[in-house]
Structure 1
Amino acid sequence: MSNSAPRDASLRAADTDRIQVAQLLTDAAAQGRLDLTEFEVRLAKAYAATTYDELDVLTTDLPGIANTRRGACKPAPSTVLLAILSGFERRGRWNVPRKMTTFTLFGGGVVDLRYADFTSSEVSIHAYSIMGGQTILLPPEVNVHIHGIGVMGGFNHDLGDTGTPGAPHVTITGFSICGGIGIKRKKRRPQTRLESA
């Protein structure tokens, strides 16, 4: 998908091609062309696709979306979110970087990945809380590994279900001291439009 030259539809697609189609599907949902259920079904199929043909079929019925090519998919720059005696929120539609660090000190923060555009198939979040709290909300399809500790506080490890094969893989590491880091897999809400942040 990242190449506009003619190609064989039976060729194997790369992670960047799958991410690009996921972004196109998010565009279609934001424009009201796909309802939430159809969007999530197609998103799971995009992440599981192995060939260009499997990816192309997911956007062929979306006028103005199907033939869009965004060029090479590049990871967003690394991000640091700080809350010192304050707070941060990252919600809505935004570009998830390959690396992100979150830190709260006597503050709080929310990182919501449910409506965001992943720009890499591998995402690393380093989360730290001291006398503060954070919540990280994950969409149902992502795959997650958590390696964090809580000292006189909590670092959630129990997410239950696994994600969709081929979907982005999120690794969350860090610690909380006298605070908490809550990590939840949460469904998208039907009434929420996927608007650009």
Structure 2
Amino acid sequence: MSNLTPRDASTRAADKDRIQVAQLLGEAAAQGRLDLSEYERRLAQAYAAKTYAELDRLTDDLPSVAEPSRRRGSGKPAPATLLLAILSGFERRGRWNVPDRMTTFTLLGGGVVDLRYADFTSADVEIHAYAIMGGQTILLPPEVNVEVKGVGVMGGFDHDVDGQGAPGAPKVTIRGFSLWGGVGIKRKNRKAGGSDQPPQ
């Protein structure tokens, strides 16, 4: 149960509060406390929540999560990240903290950035993706909003990302270029019990 007073419960939630609840829901799903469909349903509700009361209802039945103080911290974004593959590759999959700014670079190599099971630490994420004679793929969960501003020169940079994101969900802006290479951007559903499920 929540320890909030009625006045506190009606206070409007901020982006950082919604993101912190989304992280707690991800933790509960990784522990097997929520199945995939329930996790995704609550996640969409968390991003659309306007007040603390709406957020509290999403975690009240989860042990060690219901305490409001656990999610009202500083909410600082993860530090900026560089993923580099030169004659090699990189993979970022499973449960990890998505920073508000990330740069990916492949030269005669390849990479995968999978955001489906990741914890967002900011409502706005900017990815600078560069591929030279190499390729990389960015996998997006169904609920995020996306804007693509990349360019392909004698290569490809995906702009046609299927589907719309959920209201209030994080926005991912992808910029950059590919030269004799490619940057693939795809929405992909999470899998229950699949090999790309977050580690428990």
Mapped partners of 1:194, 1:32: distance in 2: 11
Query: Percent identity, aligned pairs only?
Result: 72
Partner of 2:156: 154
Partner of 1:194: 198
User: What is the aligned length?
Assistant: 193
Secondary structure of the residue that 2:58 maps to in structure 1? coil
Residue identity matched to 1:117: D
Partner of 1:26: 26
Report the TM-score when normalising by structure 2.
0.93
Spell out the pairing of 1:53-68 with structure 2 (5 A cutoff).
53-67=53-67
Residue identity matched to 1:124: E
Q: Is 1:171 matched with 2:173?
A: yes
Q: Is 1:40 matched with 2:40?
A: yes
Q: Is 1:98 matched with 2:91?
A: no
Mapped partners of 1:164, 1:93: distance in 2: 21
Secondary structure of the residue that 1:175 maps to in structure 2? strand
Report the TM-score when normalising by structure 1.
0.94
Q: CA deviation at 1:72?
A: 1.8
| Counterpart contact for 2:85–2:107, Cα < 8 Å | yes
Unaligned runs of 5+ in 2: none
Mapped partners of 2:165, 2:148: distance in 1: 14
Mapped partners of 1:84, 1:5: distance in 2: 51
Partner of 1:139: 141
Mapped partners of 1:175, 1:59: distance in 2: 41
| Counterpart contact for 1:47–1:167, Cα < 8 Å | yes
Spell out the pairing of 1:67-86 with structure 2 (5 A cutoff).
67=67, 69-70=70-71, 71-86=73-88
Q: CA deviation at 1:194?
A: 2.8
Q: Is 1:115 matched with 2:111?
A: no
**RMSD value over aligned CA atoms?**
1.4
Partner of 1:9: 9
Mapped partners of 1:150, 1:16: distance in 2: 34
1:128 to 123, 127, 130: 130
Mapped partners of 1:195, 1:168: distance in 2: 22
Unaligned runs of 5+ in 1: none
Q: CA deviation at 1:5?
A: 8.2
Spell out the pairing of 1:180-191 with structure 2 (5 A cutoff).
180-191=182-193
Mapped partners of 1:28, 1:51: distance in 2: 21
